[in-house]
Amino acid sequence: MANDNRKAADTKAKLSAFLIKNALYLVMLILLGIIVMISPNFLRLQNFYFIVTQSSSRIILALGVASIIVLGYTDLSLGRSVGMAAIISSSLLQAVNYSQRIFPKLPQLPIFVPILAVMALCALFMVAQGLVVSKLKVAPFIASLGFQLVIYGLQSLYIDEFNDSSPIGGFDPKFSRFAQGAIEFDNFRIPYLILYALAAAIIVWFIWNKTKLGRNMYAIGGNVEAATVSGVNVVANILIIYVIAGLMYGFGGALEGARTGSVTNMLGQGYELDAIAACVVGGVSMRGGVGTVVGVVTGVLMFQIINYGLVFIGVNPYVQYIVKGMIIILAVAIDSQKYIKRK
């Protein structure tokens, strides 16, 4: 009798665990259903092509910050890092015949030079931030809040000094093609953007699942005490993860600059929140130690589908904010249910 009771309770627990695990996907599906009902055109392949293309740089950035979240930390400096990378790379990659060139005497640089330079610069800032959080034990929320202000200040000084705070434009066509180009077949084209995102996903997947660094990252996020007594060099691993995140911010920033075609120092603002939200929606726990690459990619795509869909059916932009905000809260609430210690 008692056993039956327990079995029933078990089944109930399993069902609610399943619902909790998938509630978010369910809500997203319902939203998608509503969008499709209002406008069946939404299901055309064309739209999904746009969505995937638009998601690409977001996937790269979300994967960058995801490693930090798996460590059990967070990073609010993502958006401003992206802005800094975009400003610096685009300022160095204006076409030589463009009349308002910021550095008129600068020769035509091969595009990989400025791109690698901004990746290195972002990585440098992330090393500093990594040291502050792991050595000085500053809460990552505060440390990254401080760093994003510093970065924003520096990039604003840069743009004021050299470009009188007007937007940076007139790019080298090669730089524009870097983000806007595609591999063309007869009647089908694969944008470079998608390939970059795919490459980033594969690299990050490899790091998370196949390398020592990845295993250590999960261990540090899951139980830093256990990692320490097992002899893991916690600080070194944190720093490497931060460097990788920085490299991805730098690359994503250059990409965003080239994609938008005209860069102001507002570029990147709020990107960190979109990236973190996508991670959480994709099942990366803010408590650390849990998360998958597939989850992060799915999170970004789902977010983008809803975003694009709401625009598609003409929902008031302010209402879109409300819907997005509620999805984020729901995502974190569900995440908390999974890991809460039930008493």
Partner 1 sequence: MYVLEMRGISKQFPGVKALDDAQLFLRPGTVHALMGENGAGKSTLMKCLFGIYRKDSGEILLDGKTVAFESPRQALDSGVSMVHQELNQVLERSVLDNIWLGRLPIKGIVVDDVRMLSETNSVFKKLQIHVNPQKKIGALSVSERQMVEIAKAVSCNARIIVLDEPTSSLTENEVEHLFTIIRTLKKEGVAVIYISHKMEEILAIADEVTVMRDGKWIATEKSGDLTKDRIISLMVGRDLAKLYPPKTNKPSDEVVLSVRDLSGTYQPSINDVSFDLFKGEILGVSGLVGSRRTELVETIFGLRKKRKGEIHVGGKRITRHFPRASIASGLGLVTEERRATGIFPLLNIQFNAMIANIDAYARFGVMRYKRAAKDTQWVIDALSVKTPSQKAAIANLSGGNQQKVILGRWLLTSPKVLLLDEPTRGIDVGAKFEIYQLMIDLANKGNSVLFISSEMPELLGVADRILVMSNGRMAGIVDAAKTSQEEILKLAAMYI
- The footprint of partner 1 (CB under 8 A) covers 2, 6, 9-10, 13, 210-212, 214-216, 218-219, 222-223, 225-233, 289-290, 342-343
| Whether the Cβ atoms of residue 248 and residue 64 lie closer than 8 Å to each other | yes
Neighbour-count burial for 243-282, b at 16+ CB within 10 Å, e otherwise = bbbbbbbbbbbbbbbbbebebbbebbeebbebbbbbbbbb
Q: Which is nearer to partner 1, 68 or 327 (CB)?
A: 68
Q: Which is nearer to partner 1, 290 or 331 (CB)?
A: 290
Do 89 and 261 touch, CB atoms closer than 8 A?
no
The distance of closest approach from Cβ of residue 142 to partner 1 in the complex, given in angstroms and rounded to an integer, is: 20
- Residue with Cβ nearer partner 1 (227 or 310): 227
Paired tokens of 239: 């720093």
Residue 174 or 215: which CB sits closer to partner 1?
215
Q: Are 80 and 153 in contact (CB under 8 A)?
A: no
As a whole number of angstroms, the distance between CA 32 and CA 39 comes to 10
- Dihedral sign, Cα of residue 264, residue 269, residue 274, residue 279: positive
Find the shortest distance in angstroms from Cβ 205 to partner 1: 13
Phi, psi values for residue 214, rounded to 5°:
-65, -45
Q: In the beta sheet, which residues pair with residue 263? A: 168
Give min distance, CB of 290 to partner 1, in A.
Answer: 6
Min CB(286)–partner 1 separation in Å = 14
State the nearest-atom distance from the C-beta of 272 to partner 1, in Å.
25
Nearer to partner 1, 166 or 233 (CB): 233
Q: Is the dihedral of CA 252, 122, 297, 23 positive or negative?
A: negative
Mapping DSSP to helix (H, G, I), strand (E, B) and coil, where does residue 101 land?
coil
What is the rounded distance in angstroms from the CA atom of residue 219 to the CA atom of residue 147?
26
Q: Which residue has the tokens 């992206």?
A: 82
Task: Between 152 and 218, name the residue whose CB sits nearer to partner 1.
Answer: 218
Nearer to partner 1, 236 or 333 (CB): 236
Q: Least Å distance between CB 266 and partner 1?
A: 39
Number of residues assigned to the chain: 343
Look at the block and give the residue holding tokens 């979109």. Answer: 274
Query: In whole angstroms, how close is the CB of 197 to partner 1 at the nearest point?
Result: 23
